Amino acid sequence: MILKLQQKQPNLNGTVRITGSKSESNRLLLLQALFGNFEIKNLSNSEDSDMMQQALASTEKTVDIHHAGTAMRFLTAYFAAYEGRETILTGSSRMQERPIGLLVDALNSLGADITYLKNEGFAPLLIKGKKLDQNKVALEANVSSQYISALMMVGASLPNGIEIELIGKITSVPYIEMTRSLLTQLGIESTFEGQIINIKPAASVDISEMVVESDWSSASYYYSLAALCDSAALKLSSYKKNSLQGDSALAEIYTELGVETTYLDTEILLKKTQGPKSQSVAFDLANSPDIAQTIAVTCYGLGIGCDLTGLHTLKIKETDRLEALKAELTKLGAEISVTNDSLHLKPGTNYREDVTIKTYQDHRMAMAFAPMALRVPIVFEDAEVVNKSYPDYWDDLKSLGFEIKEL
Ligand SMILES: O=C(O)C1=C[C@@H](OP(=O)(O)O)[C@@H](O)[C@H](O)C1
Ligand SMILES: C=C(OP(=O)(O)O)C(=O)O
């Protein structure tokens, strides 16, 4: 599906209801499968959460989780500890290029039997589920926190729990803390001191319902819209101040880009203030990698420069996000350079019209670039890519007055 977006109305007012965080949802679905049948409220309607649900319900030998990184990583650990079950776990062609060797090595060192069916270090995996008889494991922590979350959750179901030693710098730390907090809410004890995570064993949990906060990564696109319009009063639900999601750092980050957040009862209200405070901004996003694309595009739309660092995980996500950002922002007229872990954008407003943005099978490429429609008409290839995390995105933009035409 090719979509053309235009937004001639520079004052944005409205309320958008976003469904639950896909990170929290996919953790709770796994924890529900491991520990008991609590109800999950405000579950994400993302394709990734559908994939997780379908995979957990499947009795087939081959389980295909398409593009869902959390499902791939969490289910590798889940099926490895599923005694007597043999599973082939696979995903999209891109998923078969996203590394999983560190997690497989860690699980095999705990006693799992996982082998590679195509390329060493990558899906598809043949997982012969068995009892994991060890409970201490060490792994590098700078590649993906999803490996660590997977070990923490499945580790809680092992008879002796799990002790995880994290080697080197730890990336995406808030996601590890999110996993811990959800375990705590379920009554499962853990500690995280220095480089060591300890999870106590649990057989079942005594809780009837868990409520998922709405998705902050999805909220990022409204922060960008608020920054780029002339005036905004956008209400988003359901959010809270003490979020488990690291991307809630948006509220602080966007004060520098001219957006003020007010926490209401169960909503946040975004208002545009005077505009950006300086001609160039700098952020280390090692704790919030998923909002890097949003911030880079907002800065370009504001005509200011930015230096984004801590981006070393972007190359192994849905696409190489650093190269994709460079290619598409350049098409729009930006002067941008990237390294393996950083991005530098020069101030400038040389906006080119009617550019067609390639989305690289990456939902965040489409969603992050859409607010540029406040500057110039813009076209998106494969616009349905948003389904991975936010299927209602285009409809929600329409509700704010965006003209969206299928070409
Ligand atoms: O645990 C999670 O839910 C996630 C962790 C992050 O991945 P990395 O830890 O691989 O950076 C993030 O980018 C991803 O969208 C979701
Ligand atoms: C990186 C992402 O997801 P995942 O790693 O779960 O595929 C994302 O949603 O931006």
290 is catalytic: yes
For ligand 2, mutation pick of 94, 317, 360, 365 (most atoms within 8 Å of CB): 317
pLDDT score, position 333: 98
User: CB-hemisphere CA count at 13 Å for 307?
Assistant: 4
Consecutive 10-residue averages of pLDDT for the chain (407 residues): 94 97 98 94 98 98 98 98 98 98 98 98 98 97 98 98 98 98 97 98 92 98 97 97 97 97 97 91 98 98 98 98 98 98 97 95 98 97 98 97 96
Domain locations in the chain? 3-18+214-406, 22-211
**Rg (the chain; Cα; Å):** 21
pTM exceeds 0.90, yes or no: yes
- Could you please state the CATH topology (level 3) that the domain comprising 22-211 is classified under: UDP-n-acetylglucosamine1-carboxyvinyl-transferase; Chain (3.65.10)
Q: Which residues of 104-114 are buried (b: 16+ CB within 10 A; e: fewer)?
A: bbbbbebebeb
The binding site for phosphoenolpyruvate comprises: 22, 69, 98, 146, 321, 364, 388
Contacts of 81 (CB under 8 A, 6+ apart): 112, 129, 130, 131, 132, 154, 157, 158
> For ligand 2, is residue 364 a contact (CB within 6 Å)?
yes
Among 158, 203, 155, 195, CA closest to 179: 155
Distance (Å) from CA 149 to ligand 1 centroid: 9
Cα distance between residue 122 and residue 209, in whole Å:
36
- Kindly report the protein residue whose alpha carbon is nearest to atom 4 of ligand 2: 69
What's the 265 CA to ligand 1 centre distance in angstroms? 28
pLDDT value, residue 206: 86
Residues annotated within the binding site are: 22-23, 27, 69, 98, 144-146, 172, 290, 317, 321, 364, 388
pLDDT at 65: 98
When the candidates are 3.60.10.10, 3.65.10.10, 2.30.40.10, 1.20.58.100, the CATH number that belongs to 3-18+214-406 is 3.65.10.10
CA-to-CA distance for 264 and 268, rounded, in angstroms?
6
Q: Give residue 203's pLDDT.
A: 87
What ligand 2 atom has the least distance to the C-alpha of 73? Answer: 6
Give the position, in ligand 2's atom list, of the atom nearest the Cα of 144.
5
Give the Cα separation of 303 and 351 in Å (integer). 9
Instruction: Single out the catalytic residue among 290, 320, 362, 396.
Output: 290
Give the CA angle between residues 369, 371, 373 to the nearest 5°: 95
**Check: complex ipTM more than 0.90:** yes
State the pLDDT at residue 9: 87
Give residue 204's pLDDT: 87
- Contact present, 118 and 80 (Cβ < 8 Å): no
**Tokens read off for 352:** 């080119």
Cα(13) to centroid(ligand 1), Å: 31
Q: Are strands 343-345 and 305-309 parallel, antiparallel or unpaired?
A: antiparallel
Cα of 393 to ligand 1 centre, how many Å? 20
- Ligand 2 atom closest to the CA of 290, numbered from 1: 10
Question: Which residue lies with its CA nearest to atom 11 of ligand 1?
Answer: 144
